[in-house]
A and B are shown apart, each in its own frame.
Chain A
Amino acid sequence: MPGEKNFFQTFGEAFVKGDIFTKVSLLVWGLGYIGHGQLMKALLVTLVEGLGLYFLAFYGAPNLAKFGTLGTVKMEMVFDVTTMKNVVNNYDNSFEILLMSMISFVVIAALIAAAMMVVTSNYQLQKIRAAGKKTNNFLQDINVYLNEKFYVTLLTLPVLGVVVFTIVPLFILIAVAFTNYDQQHMPPNALFTWVGLTNFFTLFGGGGMTSTFGYSFAKVLTWTLVWAFFATFTTFFGGILLAMFINDNKTKCPKFWRTLFMVTIAVPQFVTLLLVRNFFSNNGIFNTMMANAGVTDFLHNIGLLDKGLSYIPFLTQPGWAMFTIIMINIWIGVPYQMLISTGVLMNIPADMIEAARIDGANPVQMFFRIKLPYLLSVQGPSLVTDFVRNVNNFNVIYLLTQDVFVTNNQQLAQSNAKEIDLLVTWLFRLTQEYYNYKMAAVLGIMVFIVCAVFTVVCFHFINKKEATFS
């Protein structure tokens, strides 16, 4: 945008060209507004500034001072001579220091940005007064927030929510990746501190002979990508095929068939997943049926199944479990995709299909030349987000395999991973069962990198293709 000034440039100009009130308002927000005749606004902004500074002085500063070390005083029992009792000393809580420091950083950034905005707005007022016009009174100001600046009114609360419940926690977890926060260093009883990139070295194979994180990471990452690929594409194409099959005018009562498949969506996922897990358990009903039907024996004979096993280990042996999980995911995902594809397919312009038919296209050509490209152009972006969602698909893996799948691989077990773990389930187990927050945080960052790289590459590709299309 040539000619348009960015936020900092406007601020710079306002500060340089502003009068004394405008300049002073950088430090005490209210003064500028008082000088420019807006008392109510002056009161409000000063109150906000006061609250921010109060927080920084009494909560922020003490913790920020310890941010470099994350605390030095360990929790101890000391004998208090005045009360003749053992009491806890005034110890440092590393996590509290980290948390409050992160919040302080956000508050400081917000205060600085707000101060700059106050100066800019004061400069505007100054200009209005210099031109001899009247500035807005308070009611008019409020009205602006229902009109030109309505977006501010709309966005304030949701953005605040996202900052508090997503962004600040993410900052904290990213910071934890550079500390030694684990079971041996759990506040409040112990302190943790900065360790630089050590955890990242551990993940990539360092950390001495006993550490197997490098090995596990490679295995889990591979399976995560394989899983995400299959989970995304099997359900995508399965859904499309099913939708086309049902919507074909040779199929009678398409609505009836669609409803049958949608029954599976109506039951909550955790119920179906837990149910299916028992359905496929080692001595479960499906194994009984397989044994009765002779499938188990057949698998014995062709060597797909160990002779020692009297059952098919659907969810208890790595290879079988991976297969079963992908199959179950197809079962869960295809109805959703069918629903969406049905909608998209109905939107294909009728004349396009008609033209193709007149030109003598057969159904196969019709699918590959018209329907699939159309579906991909509409659903391409959501295919990318689906892939990312599958990388993070916690529910399916956790509910199907938690408490059921036990790994026999010593190296994986040593770093608390399993063959069928996704990065996120591994991360979850590390925090919930082993309190290994530092490695979990590193894994989280890795998940982000995988997803971000994938998304950027895909969208780059999609945009390029769209450009050539039109």
Chain B
Amino acid sequence: MSTTTINDAAVQKQLKQGRVKKTIFSIIRHLILALLAFIWLVPIAWLLLTSFSTDKGINFTRFVPEGFTLWNYISIMTAPDSVAQFPRWFMNTLVVACFNCVISTCFVLMVAYAISCCRFKGRRLLQNLSVTVNLFPGVLAMIAVYFVLKYMNLTNSYAGLIMVYAGSSGLGYLICKGFFDTVPVSLREAAKLDGASEARIFFQIVIPMSRPILVYTIINSFLIPWTDFVMAKMILNSGISTDWTVAIGLYNMLQKALINSYFSRFCAGGVLVAIPISILFVIMQKFYVEGITSGAAKG
């Protein structure tokens, strides 16, 4: 009887020690995470804080600004000047993004379906070619594209920019193809036996079943003009600030001569662009992972 109680006490003690050890480890674990999260969030915090700063330029000595104001946001949205034309940029980018979204999505879905579900001569050849073409640096083709557009008088026009974004978007079909591969073949065959045409199978069976990848493709192509910098800078090179997209406009605000009067407004603009993008990204996030993993697994 007494030995068991002693044993019990020992076990209790051990258990308690274990629990203490566990809590300590748990605290350390969460502290490490918190530290990492802190590092990851410092620049974002700086962006947010500076966007509310009363200083117009960069404050080199203080992380938290001396005074807070909404002036940067109000100014950038309602009082465009020769440098900052944020509302115009926003509209320009929106127009380009919408067009690119429609064209790119169609192209990607079309190529993905053809490669995934149709069997034809030259299918492998086409796939290999697309892989090879993707190995050339995008910047290289871009330079020649610029000349072609210049030759057709399409530089400094949104039509040109949309064509550049959407033109070769068919090459980015891989993730979508990986998803289509997971649509059961039996389903398509059943539809075929019932007399559905290949086109009908595409529109009425495969597309409705592929909502995740559809959303992913749409949002992805919509986001390209918002985040792209190089193409836009190359094609919209007239130097007229009302023609620009958000990316070039904000980049221009950070020129040496302008940075000291525009840095806070740059931050405000950055936050404003980030809002719609983050909303879309939250929607897309689930599909993003699904698309990438299923696409990668299937190759």
Chain A interface (Cβ < 8 Å from any Cβ of B): 7, 95-96, 99, 143, 146-151, 153-155, 157-159, 161-162, 164-170, 172-173, 176, 242, 245-246, 248, 250-252, 257, 260-272, 274-276, 278-279, 283-285, 288-289, 331, 335, 339-340, 342-344, 347, 378-379, 381-382, 388, 391-392, 394-395, 398-399, 403, 423-424, 427-428, 431-432, 437, 440-441, 444, 447-448, 451-452, 455
Q: For residue A391, which residues in chain B have a CB less than 8 angstroms away from its CB?
A: 137
Q: A392 touching B197 by the CB < 8 A rule?
A: no
Binds A, one of B8-16, B80-88, B161-169: B161-169
Pick the contact of B110 from A155, A251, A335, A444 — CB < 8 Å? Answer: A155
Q: A270 touching B139 by the CB < 8 A rule?
A: no
Q: Does B209 contact A (CB under 8 A)?
A: no
Query: Closest Cβ of chain A: how far from B118's Cβ, in Å?
Result: 4
Q: Mark B92-109, 1 if CB is under 8 A from A, else 0.
A: 000000000000000100
Q: B60 touching A270 by the CB < 8 A rule?
A: no
Q: A264 touching B273 by the CB < 8 A rule?
A: no
Q: B36 touching A158 by the CB < 8 A rule?
A: no
Q: B148 touching A99 by the CB < 8 A rule?
A: yes
Q: Mark B111-144, 1 if CB is under 8 A from A, else 0.
A: 1011000101100001000111111111111111
Q: For residue B292, which residues in chain A have a CB less than 8 angstroms away from its CB?
A: 340, 343, 382
Q: Which residue on A lies nearest to B130, using beta carbons?
A: A162
A sample of 13 inter-chain contacts (CB < 8 A) reads A157-B107, A170-B144, A245-B29, A245-B32, A264-B41, A266-B277, A267-B44, A278-B263, A285-B59, A288-B61, A339-B289, A447-B136, A452-B135
Q: For residue B166, which residues in chain A have a CB less than 8 angstroms away from its CB?
A: 161
Query: Closest Cβ of chain A: how far from B101's Cβ, in Å?
Result: 15
Q: Which residue on B lies nearest to A383, using beta carbons?
A: B296
Pick the contact of A343 from B33, B113, B293 — CB < 8 Å? Answer: B293
Q: Does B6 contact A (CB under 8 A)?
A: no
Q: B133 touching A167 by the CB < 8 A rule?
A: yes
| Distance, CA A257 to CA B132, complexed state (A) | 39
**Given A168-B148, A382-B292, also A284-B58 (CB < 8 A):** yes
Q: Does B222 contact A (CB under 8 A)?
A: no
Q: B199 touching A147 by the CB < 8 A rule?
A: yes
Query: Closest Cβ of chain B: how far from A202's Cβ, in Å?
Result: 18
**Given A271-B270, A447-B136, also A172-B40 (CB < 8 A):** no
| Distance, CA A335 to CA B126, complexed state (A) | 34
Q: A267 touching B47 by the CB < 8 A rule?
A: yes
Q: A398 touching B230 by the CB < 8 A rule?
A: yes
Q: B58 touching A252 by the CB < 8 A rule?
A: no
4 shortest interchain CB distances as A-B pairs: A158-B170, A169-B144, A165-B167, A266-B278
Q: B41 touching A285 by the CB < 8 A rule?
A: no
Query: Closest Cβ of chain A: how far from B35's Cβ, in Å?
Result: 12
**Given A154-B110, A158-B170, A444-B137, also A274-B251 (CB < 8 A):** yes
| Distance, CA A246 to CA B137, complexed state (A) | 36
Q: A381 touching B63 by the CB < 8 A rule?
A: no
Q: Does B288 contact A (CB under 8 A)?
A: yes
Q: Does B285 contact A (CB under 8 A)?
A: yes
Q: Which residue on A lies nearest to B292, using beta carbons?
A: A340
**Given A161-B107, A268-B273, A343-B289, also A382-B139 (CB < 8 A):** no
Q: For residue A265, which residues in chain B have a CB less than 8 angstroms away from its CB?
A: 281
Q: How many B residues have CB within 8 A of the partner chain?
A: 93
**Given A157-B107, A455-B135, also A447-B140 (CB < 8 A):** yes
Query: Closest Cβ of chain A: how far from B54's Cβ, in Å?
Result: 16
Q: Does B26 contact A (CB under 8 A)?
A: yes
Q: Which residue on A lies nearest to B279, using beta carbons?
A: A266
Please report which residues of chain B, range 20-75, place their CB below 8 angstroms from some CB of chain A when the two chains form the complex: 25-26, 29-30, 32-33, 36-37, 39-41, 43-44, 46-47, 58-63
Q: A99 touching B147 by the CB < 8 A rule?
A: yes
**Given A252-B30, A270-B247, A343-B292, also A392-B41 (CB < 8 A):** no
Query: Closest Cβ of chain A: how far from B175's Cβ, in Å?
Result: 10
**Given A268-B227, A403-B256, also A161-B139 (CB < 8 A):** no
Q: For residue A441, which residues in chain B have a CB less than 8 angstroms away from its CB?
A: 140
| Distance, CA A288 to CA B226, complexed state (A) | 33
Q: B120 touching A162 by the CB < 8 A rule?
A: no
**Given A155-B111, A166-B133, A288-B61, also A392-B167 (CB < 8 A):** no
Q: A95 touching B147 by the CB < 8 A rule?
A: yes
**Given A155-B110, A343-B292, A347-B293, also A165-B60 (CB < 8 A):** no
| Distance, CA A257 to CA B33, complexed state (A) | 8
Pick the contact of A260 from B32, B37, B170 — CB < 8 Å? Answer: B37
Q: For residue B296, which residues in chain A have a CB less than 8 angstroms away from its CB?
A: 378-379, 381-382
Pick the contact of B118 from A151, A279, A288, A339 — CB < 8 Å? Answer: A151
Q: A451 touching B277 by the CB < 8 A rule?
A: no
Query: Closest Cβ of chain A: how far from B112's Cβ, in Å?
Result: 9
Q: For residue A394, which residues in chain B have a CB less than 8 angstroms away from its CB?
A: 137-139, 230
Q: Which residue on A lies nearest to B278, using beta carbons?
A: A266
Q: Does B190 contact A (CB under 8 A)?
A: no
| Distance, CA A287 to CA B230, complexed state (A) | 29
Q: For residue B247, which residues in chain A have a CB less than 8 angstroms away from its CB?
A: 268, 270
Q: Which residue on B lies nearest to A176, using beta carbons?
A: B144
| Distance, CA A265 to CA B292, complexed state (A) | 16
| Distance, CA A270 to CA B224, complexed state (A) | 12
Q: For residue A166, which residues in chain B have a CB less than 8 angstroms away from its CB?
A: 133, 136, 141, 167-168, 171
Q: Does B208 contact A (CB under 8 A)?
A: no
Q: Does B290 contact A (CB under 8 A)?
A: yes
Q: Does B250 contact A (CB under 8 A)?
A: yes
Q: For residue B63, which residues in chain A have a CB less than 8 angstroms away from its CB?
A: 285, 289
Q: Which residue on A lies nearest to B280, using beta carbons?
A: A266
Q: A146 touching B199 by the CB < 8 A rule?
A: yes
Q: For residue A423, which residues in chain B have a CB less than 8 angstroms away from its CB?
A: 137
Please report which residues of chain B, range 157-209, place their CB below 8 angstroms from some CB of chain A when the two chains form the complex: 163-164, 166-171, 197-200, 202
Q: B141 touching A261 by the CB < 8 A rule?
A: no
Q: Does B267 contact A (CB under 8 A)?
A: yes
Please report which residues of chain B, range 229-272, place their CB below 8 angstroms from some CB of chain A when the two chains form the complex: 229-230, 234, 247, 250-251, 254-256, 259, 263, 266-267, 270
Query: Closest Cβ of chain B: how far from A330's Cβ, in Å?
Result: 10
| Distance, CA A22 to CA B299, complexed state (A) | 42
| Distance, CA A30 to CA B167, complexed state (A) | 31
Q: Which residue on B lies nearest to A344, using beta carbons?
A: B293
Q: For residue B215, which residues in chain A have a CB less than 8 angstroms away from its CB?
A: none
Q: For residue A96, which residues in chain B have a CB less than 8 angstroms away from its CB?
A: 151
Pick the contact of B289 from A149, A284, A342 — CB < 8 Å? Answer: A342
Query: Closest Cβ of chain A: how far from B86's Cβ, in Å?
Result: 13
Q: B121 touching A146 by the CB < 8 A rule?
A: no
Q: A427 touching B281 by the CB < 8 A rule?
A: no
**Given A268-B277, A343-B289, also A451-B135 (CB < 8 A):** yes
Q: For residue A335, which residues in chain B have a CB less than 8 angstroms away from its CB?
A: 40
Q: B141 touching A99 by the CB < 8 A rule?
A: no
Q: Does B77 contact A (CB under 8 A)?
A: no
Q: B113 touching A173 by the CB < 8 A rule?
A: no
Query: Closest Cβ of chain A: how far from B273's Cβ, in Å?
Result: 6
